[in-house]
Amino acid sequence: MIKAGIIGATGYAGAELVRLLTAHPHAEIAAVSSVTFEGKALSSVYPAYRGLNDMVCEKADDVVKKSDVVFAALPHGLSQELAKQCFDNGKIFIDLGADFRLENEEDYKQWYGGEYKDKALHQNAVYALPELFRENIRGKRIIANPGCYTTGVPLALAPAIKMGLVKHQGIIADCKSGVTGAGRGLSQGTHYPDLNEGFHPYKVAAHRHTPEIEQTLSHLAGEAVKITFVPHLLPVNRGILSTCYAPLQEGVTAEQVKNAYRSFYKDAFFVRLLPDGAVADIHDIKYSNFCDVSVHIDMRTHTLIAVSAIDNMVKGAAGQAIQNMNLVCGLDETAGLTMMPPAF
């Protein structure tokens, strides 16, 4: 059994790691940590875990010592030293934060206000969106787990970008996220009376996931891709719906686009390409690692409209991190992640 440790186990992403790893057939949770709740039982923070996981939150150093694989569910800026500690001690480090996602340090400085503390360490990290970069992930020990929007948007557009079916200018990603994406901390913007029965965009043309999305799409395109990215906050707990618009290249037909998507995702277990007439819906992917994708063509404006739906806490965070652990450790990629979404 793989001994898995979770640093930051009492945040939403950390709590999802606990939920999913508890049922994993080839892994067991060796230790958990939390700065806020150190010395307290995890089940006292999340009563739903009572009797299933009553582990006491320890220090991060103890988690590293007891684990083969360390998951870090921390805010940006807090993972680099832990990654170094794990790397030097032969551990696998899977970072759910942003410290290793951007290849260009200048982008990290601009969007996150930080710097790379150990540039050589960053050279050993791999950006791990399995459906797009699976072969790059195997055997690596520092894993940059993608963010939520940065999973949903690329999976909606990847086949069209990779196969040259759309233009690389004028792409728009119009996304809606549940409130868990903002984390467990309290804020005015997520206060129930302010959020309930409302719906609004936020960080318009200024969201930190912009360069990460562009980095992924640029790799697929083989040249620089810029997008217009506007996230919105939905008054629901979970889910991200990404509606992406891209101008089709001249002469491209609807059948070409649909065949490209079928071919691209034919072996991707977690990407469910929906049949004609169906539309991706966050209702259908909750609590699962699936990404539902629906493809639509507006022939009047010659525009691809690709819609993806993911659970931001699972495929957009903890589930994808476990999918990456499976790949790195040589397990079946789907191990521990085949739970069926609830029907209602």
Q: Which of 57, 86, 148, 244 is catalytic?
A: 148
SS3 90: coil
With beta carbons less than 8 A apart as the criterion, state whether 119 and 103 touch. Answer: no
Check whether 255 has a pLDDT greater than 80: yes
pLDDT, greater one: 193 or 304: 304
Smallest CA-to-CA distance from 122 within 89, 152, 145, 144 is with 144
Smallest CA-to-CA distance from 18 within 38, 45, 147 is with 45
Distance CA 23, CA 162 (A): 36
Contacts of 203 (CB under 8 A, 6+ apart): 231
With beta carbons less than 8 A apart as the criterion, state whether 92 and 86 touch. Answer: yes
Q: Across all residues in the chain, what is the average pLDDT?
A: 96
Strand arrangement of the beta sheet that strand 69-72 belongs to: 27-33, 2-7, 69-72, 92-95, 142-144, 125-127
The band of 323, judged by pLDDT with boundaries at 50, 70 and 90, is very high
Pairing of strands 291-298, 271-273: parallel
- Superfamily name and number for 2-146+315-328: NAD(P)-binding Rossmann-like Domain (3.40.50.720)
Distance CA 142, CA 94 (A): 6
Tens-place pLDDT, residues 21-54: 999 999 999 999 999 999 999 999 999 999 999 9
With beta carbons less than 8 A apart as the criterion, state whether 191 and 129 touch. Answer: no
Is residue 148 flagged as an active site residue?
yes
Q: What's the token pair of residue 108? A: 């990290």
Task: Enter the CATH code of domain 149-311.
Answer: 3.30.360.10
Amino acid 187: pLDDT: 75
DSSP state of 64: H
Side-chain half-sphere exposure of 210, counting CA atoms within 13 A: 18
Helix-then-strand count for the chain, H and E: 12, 13
Tens-place pLDDT, residues 104-114: 999 999 999 99
The domain segmentation of the chain, as residue ranges, is 2-146+315-328, 149-311
Amino acid 186: pLDDT: 65
Helices (H), 138-187: 149-162
Tens-place pLDDT, residues 81-92: 999 999 999 999
CA 216 to chain centre: 13
With beta carbons less than 8 A apart as the criterion, state whether 143 and 94 touch. Answer: yes
Smallest CA-to-CA distance from 285 within 223, 238, 335, 318 is with 238
Tens-place pLDDT, residues 179-215: 888 777 767 777 788 778 889 999 999 999 999 999 9
Tens-place pLDDT, residues 122-178: 999 999 999 999 999 998 999 999 999 999 999 999 999 999 999 999 999 999 999
Buried b (16+ CB within 10 A) or exposed e, 147-181: bbbbbbbbbbbbbbbbbebbbbeebebbbbbbbbb
Beta bridge partners of 271: 291
Beta bridge partners of 125: 142
Rounded to the nearest 10 degrees, how much is the dihedral formed by the CA atoms of 79, 84, 89, 93?
40
With beta carbons less than 8 A apart as the criterion, state whether 69 and 336 touch. Answer: no
Amino acid 181: pLDDT: 80
